[in-house]
């Protein structure tokens, strides 16, 4: 079997250590959206590989979203809309099919990208696998959004993007200002009363914020489809969760160094993308295994690396340093809530020292969730928690592929079969003018054990393996005098609110092994003589802990071998590489903490709307325009 030899010296990793923690920190949404699209046909292949020379720059690396759409034979329009607080957003529209057919469907479709990404992510893989282009061919009027601060939406009516005041926004502003402005404009231009919303990763987060904070817009959404939905990070398995305690410090550092702009797209990054991520060995070791698989989950079978250079040419696309800190706050607090400015400013803004939580139960929009077992960012258990709070859930689709990770939702080689086709079917149903929500179509998942009342018995036994048991509200796990609760092989029990695990008698047992865990929150408790529970955020604040347990942390993030004999050895090599890379990231964080830790102080800030600035402008281009 072919093996991969690693550099005998760690000097290479030392030289690149500056970039590694930044990339990891940026992926706090993880999403983290560093990935490769699927293979495409020669007619729509967006790469030009004329040489195996590792430093050759890809011909199409600089292609914009508009250029990519035109290259694939579609008409495209550029539209601009101004939000209530003055940010100028750029929307990209595919107004008709490749054959030139105008839209025949009843409602337009709006796409929103992930963290640090932009509209290019929806079209990079070409017409064969791009959901946006396929929907245009199916008769939909397709619109691609760009959040404030990214490559395409970096203008403001009165501020310059180099000013600190420009970058003074979090997830909340994207959800409450950007989305409503885009919706109003699209519905006006198309003369429609509702639209379909498709969000990926952070694109789902900001939708949930919008729907809970701006309820008047719920009636404008015909249906919503969430790919890799993110609202909670309690069970996030990606190693980036260990950076969360340092997010505030990193935010302050960025405020001082760049006025709050984080990971903008630059020429240098494009050059690195066209060199490091093109060479066969460096692409596999660094771009694929050392970054993508480490953050998002290893998928050795269905993840296609063909377009990695072009992806990295568009990613990262820039945002405010407050955005990743907002994600980190959600992780650390265990609450899907508004941005925490600190007690003083919170009191002024929220009339409370703690920021309020978003009310997911108030969202009266038909929603479909799609999630994967091997998604290290949007963990199955967190998706189940989200699902339980959505009153108009249409469906919760677990992708039937054990390796399906966070980025496979857009760029897996099986994306048509696993993602695109089911979405098309959902849209065909909900786009019908006579369709009305009639209740959920919930799957029977063997991976989740939801306790609705109690599990009890003197000799009863509850076995949870590679799954989860959730005890919430007044739910109870009652284990009698000879009962056993065995949690093995990555299983976990979540005890929240007034949930209880009672272990009675001298022979009662709570066995926790391998990477299993018991999370106790709220007024939940574990009582008796046979077990134990762990509380807290799950993210230690001591780098010594991280250093000491680095091997186990990375091993826990790897998927279990399923059906390939080589999986175990492949994953073993990945673990070795990831441990080297992350060790250098830790060293960098230590150096920053040592240099700035004693002087960094929290700078409270605010974002103030500047009135109604919803001016509109647009430019129309065609596939044949220069």
Give catalytic residues, as residue numbers: 201, 406
Backbone phi, psi, residue 397, to 5°? -105, 115
Report residue 144 as tokens.
Answer: 């691609």
Residue pair 367/394 in contact (Cβ under 8 Å)? The answer is yes
Q: For residues 160 and 146, what is the distance between their CA atoms, to the nearest angstrom?
A: 18
Which residues touch 126 (CB under 8 Å, ≥6 apart)?
37, 40, 41, 44, 45, 46, 72, 133
Q: Which residues of 464-490 are buried (b: 16+ CB within 10 A; e: fewer)?
A: bebbbbbbbeebbbbbbebbbbbbeeb
Residue pair 568/250 in contact (Cβ under 8 Å)? The answer is no
Q: For residues 465 and 76, what is the distance between their CA atoms, to the nearest angstrom?
A: 49
Q: For residues 197 and 552, what is the distance between their CA atoms, to the nearest angstrom?
A: 39
Q: For residues 54 and 488, what is the distance between their CA atoms, to the nearest angstrom?
A: 45
- SS3 (DSSP) at 222: strand
Cβ-based neighbour number of residue 279 at 10 Å: 18
Q: Which DSSP string do the residues of 3-37 spell out, in sequence order?
A: --PPPS-SHHHHHTTTHHHHHHHHGGGT-TT---P
Residue pair 407/343 in contact (Cβ under 8 Å)? The answer is no
Residue pair 336/445 in contact (Cβ under 8 Å)? The answer is no
Question: What is the torsional sign of CA 172, 251, 579, 267?
Answer: positive
Q: For residues 383 and 234, what is the distance between their CA atoms, to the nearest angstrom?
A: 10
Q: For residues 82 and 178, what is the distance between their CA atoms, to the nearest angstrom?
A: 8
Q: Which DSSP string do the residues of 521-544 spell out, in sequence order?
A: -TT-EEEESS---B-S-S--S-HH
Backbone phi, psi, residue 447, to 5°? -90, -15
């Amino acid at each position: 079997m072919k093996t991969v030899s690693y550099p005998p010296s760690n000097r290479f990793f030392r030289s690149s250590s500056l970039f590694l923690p930044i990339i990891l920190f940026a992926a706090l949404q993880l999403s983290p959206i560093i990935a490769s699209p699927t293979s495409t046909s020669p007619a729509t292949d967006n790469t030009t590989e004329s040489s195996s020379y590792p430093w050759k720059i890809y011909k199409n690396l600089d292609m914009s979203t508009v250029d990519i759409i035109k290259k694939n034979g579609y008409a495209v329009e550029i539209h601009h809309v101004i939000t209530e607080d003055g940010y100028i957003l750029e929307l990209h529209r595919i107004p008709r099919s490749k054959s030139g057919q105008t839209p025949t469907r009843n409602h337009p479709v709006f796409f929103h990208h992930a963290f640090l990404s932009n509209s290019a992510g929806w079209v990079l893989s070409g017409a064969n696998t791009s959901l946006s282009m396929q929907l245009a061919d199916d008769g939909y009027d397709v619109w691609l959004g760009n959040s404030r601060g990214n490559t395409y939406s970096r203008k403001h009516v009165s501020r310059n993007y180099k000013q600190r005041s420009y970058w003074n926004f979090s997830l909340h502003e994207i959800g409450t200002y950007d989305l409503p402005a885009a919706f109003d404009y699209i519905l006006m231009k198309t003369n429609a009363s509702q639209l379909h919303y498709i969000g990926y990763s952070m694109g789902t987060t900001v939708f949930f914020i919008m729907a809970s904070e701006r309820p008047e817009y719920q009636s404008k959404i015909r249906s919503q489809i969430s790919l890799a939905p993110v609202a909670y990070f309690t069970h996030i398995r990606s190693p980036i969760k260990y950076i969360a305690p340092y997010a505030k410090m990193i935010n302050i550092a960025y405020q001082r160094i760049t006025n709050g702009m984080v990971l903008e797209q630059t020429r240098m990054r494009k050059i690195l993308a066209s060199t490091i991520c093109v060479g066969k060995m460096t692409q596999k070791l660094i771009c694929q295994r050392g970054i993508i698989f480490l953050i998002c989950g290893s998928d050795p079978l269905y993840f296609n690396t063909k377009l990695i250079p072009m992806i990295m040419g568009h990613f990262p696309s820039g945002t405010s340093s407050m955005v990743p800190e907002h994600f980190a706050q959600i992780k650390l607090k265990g609450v899907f809530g508004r941005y925490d400015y600190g007690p003083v400013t919170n009191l002024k803004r929220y009339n409370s020292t703690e920021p309020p939580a978003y009310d997911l139960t108030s969202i009266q929009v038909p929603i479909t969730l799609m999630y994967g077992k091997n998604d290290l960012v949007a963990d199955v258990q967190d998706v189940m928690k989200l699902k339980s709070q959505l009153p108009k859930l249409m469906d919760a689709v677990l992708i039937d592929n054990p390796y399906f990770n966070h980025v496979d939702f857009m760029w897996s080689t099986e994306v048509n079969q696993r993602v695109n086709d089911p979405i098309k079917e959902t849209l065909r149903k909900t786009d019908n003018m006579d369709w009305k929500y009639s209740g959920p179509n919930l799957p029977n998942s063997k991976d989740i054990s939801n306790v609705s009342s109690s599990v009890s018995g003197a000799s009863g036994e509850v076995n949870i393996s590679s799954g989860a048991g959730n005890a919430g509200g007044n739910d109870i796990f009652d284990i009698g005098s000879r009962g056993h609760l065995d949690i093995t092989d990555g299983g976990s029990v979540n005890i929240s609110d007034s949930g209880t695990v009672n272990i009675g008698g001298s022979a009662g047992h709570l066995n926790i092994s391998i990477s299993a865990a018991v999370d106790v929150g709220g007024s939940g408790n574990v009582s008796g003589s046979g077990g134990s529970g762990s509380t807290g955020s799950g993210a230690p604040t001591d780098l010594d802990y991280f250093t000491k347990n680095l091997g186990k942390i990375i091993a826990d993030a790897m998927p279990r071998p399923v059906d390939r004999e080589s999986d175990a050895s492949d994953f073993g090599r990945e673990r070795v590489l990831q441990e080297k890379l992350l060790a250098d990231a830790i060293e960098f964080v230590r150096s920053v903490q040592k240099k700035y830790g004693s002087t960094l102080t929290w700078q409270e800030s605010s974002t103030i709307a500047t009135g109604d600035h919803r001016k509109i402008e647009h430019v129309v281009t065609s596939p044949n325009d220069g």
